[in-house]
Structure 1
């Protein structure tokens, strides 16, 4: 089996590529390297360019006519940046995705796995969600994901393509073999900020302290990135059983989370349990576009994909710290 991974030089896309390779699936990578890293494409078929570039997509399929499916991980993902630049986010995440799917249709690609986000949900009072929960995205980034899901479902209903949207919760960790990890030295998410606080000696900021959670800080469903990657491998293997080309639904969604909610303060406690000198914290205001968060109560991924997470939050923290220690050796300045 061969799969095209759009955004395959990024954090999640490159990890999916490694999981595919380990499972005997050949990855082909396309990435414009705006946030991705060339080092993550070493030893793989790689095309540097944009998913909206029709002639480039045509060349990829001409040179790899045996591509069986596409995993679409190409997107901008930083919530505060999307608040500051909604135009750029809609252009990158929605407009280019629309162009991309038109190029896939022209090249007779019928299977698309889309990297979506649990940030599109309206959480229940208990902050849990499942695939049938109402949607209420709270940031331009989240809305781009919701728009893409609806757009792909509409296209799949009338054209020869089937779409499986995987709604990620909050990825942490790195490839346990340390082949890939977060490419940014200073990532903006909570765990990245904790590592930065440890390195600089500056207290970690708990952004938002009046959410309706057990300790007032935001709550997330932290899922190890290698578990996410394994779910993609499972999705590729189960794709035709889930979405047969002989009638029935042409698109569906699956949550990818652990089913356990962890608050930011609890994440900091777990972080401090695996380092020598605990990181202090200070309370700060919520960032633009932030929300209380949510975690999945669904077992749909287990039922339909035979998938369930193997790594704990603590193991994700350890792998993130291991990656932070070797990142500058793997990635050139």
Structure 2
């Protein structure tokens, strides 16, 4: 299959492209390189441009009329930035998606895979969520995902376009062949902070040990990015079975571990991988902190035959390997 990947020069999109290539499919990459990296597109069919630009969409489909499906990974994702710049986030994530989808429909696209977020859910008492959990997005970033999903559902109901949304929490790791990985200078998630603490030989701060979780620390759902890429490919291959042209137009599938990982469990797993343990300092909760959540993924197992296979230690090791090597591929991030 030939698959257009919008945002294919970013962390998720480039890994999905690698998985497709390794599985015998052909990705076509569209990215404006605001956060994506040109280096991740080396040797691949790549178009630099904006998803809302009709000229670049026209060029892509003129040169690749045989595109079978589209994966939409293009979005801004930094929660604090979304709080500071909501207009920018709604323009980039919502308004431009609307323009993009309008162009896709005009080109006869009927299969759209939307890379969404599980951050839109309100967790249950056990901190787990599934596709039927209440939606309660708490940041402008998460709300842009909600708006886009609602918009896509409405569009799918009225046009030939069919849409599958994949919702997930925290991708970790890297392409096992180290073709790409996290490209931001300073990651904000706990594993990134752990790696920084390890590299700087300083303690790692655990903020809050009074949550009603199994060990008192917050809980997150870390999924290896290679597992996520596998789910995207399986969804593309099973698209017509999941969404027959004469039946369902829109559906959602969650991707997660089914158990989650607490912060203390993450530290313990990290210290089993590295050559010297990172000590822990505990502090109180920060303003806005929550216990967290993880997603049950029974629908993914049922519909895609997918389960998260990479253990947390593998995600940690691949993240460490990527951080050690990425300066060679991305010299501006060396050091």
**TM exceeds 0.5?**
yes
Deviations 1:53-78 (A, max 9, x none): 11111111111101011000011112
Indicate yes or no: 2:317 matched with 1:318: yes
What's 1:145 paired with?
Answer: 145
What aligned pairs does 1:12-27 form with structure 2 within 5 A after superposition? 12-27=12-27
Deviations 1:221-277 (A, max 9, x none): 11110000011110010000000112x220000001111111112111111111122
Deviations 1:54-103 (A, max 9, x none): 11111111111010110000111122222222222111111111111111
Runs of 5+ consecutive residues of structure 2 not aligned to the other structure: none
Q: Which moved more, 1:160-169 or 1:82-91?
A: 82-91
Secondary structure in 2 matching 1:125: coil
Secondary structure in 2 matching 1:43: coil
Answer whether contact 2:297 2:307 (CA < 8 A) is retained: no
What's 1:175 paired with?
Answer: 175
What's 1:299 paired with?
Answer: 298
Q: Kindly tell me: are residues 287 and 245 of structure 1, through their superposed partners in 2, closer, same or farther at Cα, counting changes over 3 Å?
A: farther
Query: Using the alignment, how far apart are the partners of 2:105 and 2:208 within structure 1?
Result: 44
Secondary structure in 1 matching 2:88: helix
Query: Using the alignment, how far apart are the partners of 1:288 and 1:94 within structure 2?
Result: 28
What aligned pairs does 1:151-190 form with structure 2 within 5 A after superposition? 151-190=151-190
Q: Kindly tell me: are residues 95 and 282 of structure 1, through their superposed partners in 2, closer, same or farther at Cα, counting changes over 3 Å?
A: farther
Answer whether contact 2:254 2:296 (CA < 8 A) is retained: no
Query: Using the alignment, how far apart are the partners of 1:88 and 1:286 within structure 2?
Result: 29
Answer whether contact 1:209 1:216 (CA < 8 A) is retained: yes
What's 1:266 paired with?
Answer: 265
Query: Using the alignment, how far apart are the partners of 1:91 and 1:54 within structure 2?
Result: 16
1:287 Cα deviation after fit? 5.7
Answer whether contact 1:14 1:180 (CA < 8 A) is retained: yes
Deviations 1:99-138 (A, max 9, x none): 1111111111111000111101111001111111111111
Q: Kindly tell me: are residues 202 and 86 of structure 1, through their superposed partners in 2, closer, same or farther at Cα, counting changes over 3 Å?
A: farther
Query: Using the alignment, how far apart are the partners of 1:80 and 1:5 within structure 2?
Result: 26
TM-score normalised according to structure 2 size? 0.95
Query: Using the alignment, how far apart are the partners of 1:15 and 1:154 within structure 2?
Result: 29
TM-score normalised according to structure 1 size? 0.96
Answer whether contact 1:138 1:291 (CA < 8 A) is retained: no
Answer whether contact 2:257 2:297 (CA < 8 A) is retained: no
Runs of 5+ consecutive residues of structure 1 not aligned to the other structure: none
What's 1:242 paired with?
Answer: 242
Answer whether contact 1:258 1:309 (CA < 8 A) is retained: yes
Indicate yes or no: 2:328 matched with 1:329: yes
What aligned pairs does 1:276-291 form with structure 2 within 5 A after superposition? 276-284=275-283, 290-291=289-290
RMSD, aligned α-carbons: 1.5
1:332 Cα deviation after fit? 3.0
Query: Using the alignment, how far apart are the partners of 2:217 and 2:71 within structure 1?
Result: 33
1:190 Cα deviation after fit? 1.0
1:215 Cα deviation after fit? 3.0
Secondary structure in 2 matching 1:255: strand
Query: Using the alignment, how far apart are the partners of 2:169 and 2:57 within structure 1?
Result: 29
Query: Using the alignment, how far apart are the partners of 1:171 and 1:314 within structure 2?
Result: 13
Equivalenced residue count is: 332
Deviations 1:258-301 (A, max 9, x none): 11111112111111111122122334565666532211223111
Q: Which moved more, 1:62-71 or 1:272-281?
A: 272-281
What's 1:68 paired with?
Answer: 68
Secondary structure in 1 matching 2:238: helix
Secondary structure in 2 matching 1:67: coil
Indicate yes or no: 2:51 matched with 1:51: yes
